[in-house]
Amino acid sequence: MDLQAFLLTLKLATVTTAILLAVCIPLAAWLVLGRARWLAVIEAAATLPLVLPPTVLGFFLLVLLGPRTAVGRGIAAAIGHPLAFSFDGLVVGSVIYSLPFALQPLVAGFSAIPASLLDAARLLGASPSRLVRTILVPLAKPSLVAAIVLSFLHTVGEFGVVLMLGGDIPGATRTLSILLYNQVENFDYAAAMRTAGLLVVFSLVALILIYSRSRTRLKPQTERSRA
């Protein structure tokens, strides 16, 4: 088994999930609390990665972040190397690719919080950021867990974007799903089976751990609220 690819996949998923939370919690709060009609445009754009084939997304990012555009040249000048075919580039691609998987559970969770609680907090002088910290996030914990699990595992399983944007550089962009693709191409089915099995077992174990934890944490609360 390729430990390097495994660790790289974990690193990519962890960094991506952290960035997604930092971006999506304020974004979801803004979508839920804001009243402007054009917020629907933002929500639609943020859902687009869900319906586009990952290769389309990867292709656009490859062109955009490459040396042919001003954006790509600007970033290359700022960080010293082009984003395409680097780990940083993969992070950018993964964040966009997994964005809906972090955003949608958070929007759903925040929307389910009664408006009367938000009104009460506003009347007591809560600023928007305090509203997010003290009301939205604590009351939408299950959605927060779902957002973390989904964006992490979705990034682990990502293939098209990585292939387009990252290529196959050991230690920088060769993730488990790329490794599996290489092994199958080389007719090394035994190694491919180990890699595929590892992906399945890892994802399943992560899901079981998180669902069992959120179960024990949530059950007493729901029972009490019913009493």
Partner 1 sequence: MPKPPLSDPSVFESGLEFAIDARRGGFHLQVAGKFVAPWTVIFGPSGAGKSTLLRLLAGLDVATLVRVALNGRVLNDDKRRFAVRPGKRQTGLVAQEPSLFPHLTVTQNVGYGLESMERIGRVHRVEEMLALVGSTELASRRPQDLSGGQAQRVALARALAPGPLLLLLDEPFSALDGAASDALLERLQAWVAANRIQVVMATHDATDALALDAEVLLLGEGRNAAQGPAVEVLAAERERLKNRLDG
Interface with partner 1 includes 25 (CB under 8 A)? Answer: no
**Span from 62-70, 74-82, 102-110, 114-122 in contact with partner 1 (CB under 8 A):** 114-122
Q: From CA 58, how far away is CA 84, in angstroms rounded? A: 10
**Span from 2-10, 81-89, 121-129, 160-168 in contact with partner 1 (CB under 8 A):** 121-129
Q: Name the H helices within the chain.
A: 3-33, 39-51, 54-65, 70-79, 87-111, 115-123, 128-131, 137-139, 141-156, 160-166, 176-185, 189-226
Binding residue for partner 1, selected from 78, 116, 185, 187, defined by CB under 8 A = 116
Residue type, 25: I
Interface with partner 1 includes 138 (CB under 8 A)? Answer: yes
- Lookup result for tokens 């656009």: 60
Interface with partner 1 includes 224 (CB under 8 A)? Answer: yes
- When the beta carbons of 78 and 124 are compared against partner 1, the nearer one is 124
**Span from 70-78, 85-93, 118-126, 147-155 in contact with partner 1 (CB under 8 A):** 118-126
Interface with partner 1 includes 36 (CB under 8 A)? Answer: no
Binding residue for partner 1, selected from 69, 134, 186, 212, defined by CB under 8 A = 134
Q: Are 194 and 20 in contact (CB under 8 A)?
A: no
Interface with partner 1 includes 139 (CB under 8 A)? Answer: yes
Interface with partner 1 includes 216 (CB under 8 A)? Answer: no
Q: What are the backbone angles phi and psi of residue 87, rounded to the nearest 5°?
A: -65, -40
CB of 130 to partner 1, least distance (A): 7
Using alpha carbons, select from 150, 60, 49, 166 the residue that is nearest to residue 109: 150
Name residues whose C-beta falls within 8 Å of residue 145's C-beta, 6 or more positions apart in sequence.
Answer: 210, 214
- When the beta carbons of 73 and 141 are compared against partner 1, the nearer one is 141
Interface with partner 1 includes 213 (CB under 8 A)? Answer: no
Cα–Cα distances in angstroms (integers) from residue 94 to residues 78, 118, 144, in the given order: 21, 33, 19
Interface with partner 1 includes 220 (CB under 8 A)? Answer: no
Interface with partner 1 includes 117 (CB under 8 A)? Answer: yes
Q: Name the H helices within 112-188.
A: 115-123, 128-131, 137-139, 141-156, 160-166, 176-185
For partner 1, the binding residues (CB under 8 A) are 114, 116-117, 119-126, 130, 134-135, 138-139, 224-225, 227
